[in-house]
Amino acid sequence: MIWVAWRTQRLQLLVTVGLALLLAFWVATTGLTVSQSNIWKYWTDGAVFALYALPAIVGIGVGASLVAGELDHRTQRLAWTQGMSRRQWLIWKIAVGAGVIVIASGLLVVLIQWWTSAANIALTSSARGPTRPVIVPSVFDVTGIVIIGYALFAFALGVALGTVVRRPGWTFAAAVPIFIGARLLVRLDVRPHILAPATYSSPTGNYSPRLTTGWLLNSGILPVGRTSPLPGHGWSTLPRRFTACISAEKSQYAQTHVTRWAHCVVVNHLHYVVQYQPASHYWPLQGAETAIFVAAAVLLLGLAVLGVNRITA
Amino acid sequence: MTPTPAVETVELSKRYRRTWAVRDCTLSIPAGRIVALVGPNAAGKSTLLRMLAGLTTPTSGEIRVLGRDRETADREFLGWIGYLDQERPLYRGFSVTEMLRYGRETNPGWDDDRAHQYLADLAIPLTARIGKLSGGQQAQVALALCLAKRPPVLLLDEPSAALDPVAREDLMHVLLQAVVDDRITVLLASHAIADLATVCDYIVILAAAQVQLAGEMERVLATHRLLIGSADRSFDLPSDSTVIASSTTGRQASTLVRTGSPIGTWLGEVIQPTLEEVVLGYLRGRGAHVGAQREGAGMGGAAS
């Protein structure tokens, strides 16, 4: 049965492996020469975009053709009248497809891990000043293990939608916005709250060095003693006495904007508060986000397997 | 004791939104028969076969294959039926060898020698891509897949459509041989009534989603008569006879009649209709025969 599950998706899986090897080759060769100084030559927007897009596109593509591809060509009338049940058929196909995707994305994960440590960056601060921290989304999303979760989720989405939409092209078109929506939802509303963020406060607004490695969530000016806004107020609302002070001071002192702000903060018993996820939360957040997407994938695949018997051939 | 019918349906119906594809189909097909399933396009033949194959769920009614209810037997059930779809789906990128391997890996009872022998007799190259074969060759590969599975019930939807006349005849021989050797049951949906007449021993006429006639071929032919005579002549029919259809050309009328007793006085010809004439009669007069007519119903017909 493994041969059957492999052979009916052979083209899609070979494309997956081919693309993964290409990416792996690129990562491996650039990783041999990357260092602190030339990292930005390699860590371009284009490269990051490729790492964002490819696992999703490939995952959805393989998933969409798994069921919808057969329904579109009516080969399910052949496949579902042989000697095995529809569920068996689907489970085997899913196992082989998911297996290849996990292995391919796993390979990428390992290489990227090696690459970031070879550049000695982990993209944390260097002697020359802060560089982009590792837990910030644009880096978080393409390092660590989350790519495996994203690829698996994309695959599961393609499979599950394919059982309903029944045409691979339309399945792909429907899956892409759902995938993007899910990713954005998790990044914006779930990831910041998985672990309680740390807060840093200072009376003068000078950033602590540890903030350079963290992921800035919110910042604002709050009364001393508070580390979060008053109920009903947002982070960006400035306290009234502060704004009053600013406009009053404007007329009185010909100071720089910065010193005027610092003065008004201190005088009104306020302080600067920064809410952030520290770098130490990187791996727990990676694990949690991967688990979320893998769980969603398992749920979608389970629904597909449960629902396959209801498809009218 | 009545042996278990190979295929049995009870009030089987399938509706797609507002149209009935199959309606109140009740059949009891004995084992070891080659059944002709005839009817016009969109009569419900393909839908019926798909329901028997487990691809489509009926809207209502029951299906029993070899005595087992379709709902409860699943993987086992799939081992009992071989299905050939009208579109003859195959994996176009596979080679013939890979297609046979597919059959071998997905069917426990696969007879590899049979498949290879069948294709070797037709000189179909094993290394060719399925997509590159001609339509007839693809049909033969699809048939080989069904036959090598050696199922007790074969459901074939228009198997002859892509085949040349010689291939058609050969296929009928193969099916006959399989019935004789393995006592399988074959349901053939087809338009080629002339072909079927030589091979089939049971007929089901499906029109307007309903079974118009179902019964053993010999009985059907024995109980139908074609009356040919002048158009303006009236005739007395025995009380147990029904007029199926009547067509008039000029002053001549030919009437298909179903009767249990000999026709009485009739100035004209009373002839034995051919299968084609019976079928055409039922298809023309189908509006008048809502509700199944089962030959031999209530007389132990399944045993005949």
Quote the CA–CA distance of B73 and B76 in Å, as a whole number. Answer: 6
Contact A81/B90, CB-based, under 8 Å? Answer: no
What class is the B7-217 domain? alpha beta
Per CB-CB distance under 8 Å, the chain B contacts of A88 are 75
Counting the structural domains of chain A, the total is: 2
pLDDT digits 0-9 by tens, A83-134: 889 999 999 999 999 999 999 999 999 998 888 877 655 444 444 444 445 7
For residues A127 and A227, state if they share a domain: no
Q: Structural domain of residue A167, as residue ranges?
A: 2-196+279-310
Per CB-CB distance under 8 Å, the chain B contacts of A15 are none
pLDDT digits 0-9 by tens, B253-293: 788 888 776 666 666 677 888 888 888 888 887 544 433 34
For residues A45 and A89, state if they share a domain: yes
A162 Cα to chain B: minimum distance (Å):
18
A70 Cα to chain B: minimum distance (Å):
9
For residues A207 and A223, state if they share a domain: yes
For residues A27 and A45, state if they share a domain: yes
Contact A8/B105, CB-based, under 8 Å? Answer: no
Quote the CA–CA distance of A177 and A185 in Å, as a whole number. Answer: 12
Going from N- to C-terminal start, the domains of chain B cover 7-217, 220-289
For residues A17 and A68, state if they share a domain: yes
A37 Cα to chain B: minimum distance (Å):
50
For residues A210 and A284, state if they share a domain: no
For residues A148 and A181, state if they share a domain: yes
For residues A53 and A174, state if they share a domain: yes
Residue in chain A closest to B146 (alpha carbons) equals A82
For residues A174 and A304, state if they share a domain: yes
Nearest CB partner across the interface for A84, out of B56, B75, B82: B75
Nearest CB partner across the interface for B108, out of A74, A76, A83: A83
For residues A131 and A258, state if they share a domain: no
Contact B75/A88, CB-based, under 8 Å? Answer: yes
Per CB-CB distance under 8 Å, the chain B contacts of A85 are 74-75, 78
For residues A45 and A183, state if they share a domain: yes
B159 Cα to chain A: minimum distance (Å):
14
Q: Is the pLDDT of residue B301 over 70?
A: no
pLDDT tens, per residue, chain A with 313 residues? 899 999 999 999 999 999 999 999 988 888 887 766 677 777 777 888 888 999 999 999 999 999 999 999 999 999 999 988 999 999 999 999 999 999 999 999 999 888 887 765 544 444 444 444 578 888 889 888 999 999 999 999 999 999 999 999 999 999 999 999 999 999 999 998 888 888 888 877 677 766 777 888 888 888 888 778 877 778 888 888 888 887 776 666 656 666 777 777 777 888 888 888 888 888 899 999 999 999 999 999 999 999 998 888 7
Count of pairs with CB atoms under 8 A, one residue in A, one in B: 74
Contact B149/A82, CB-based, under 8 Å? Answer: yes
> Could you tell me if B50 lies within 8 Å of chain A, comparing CB atoms?
yes
For residues A95 and A29, state if they share a domain: yes
3-state secondary structure of A200: strand
Q: What is the pTM of this model?
A: 0.87
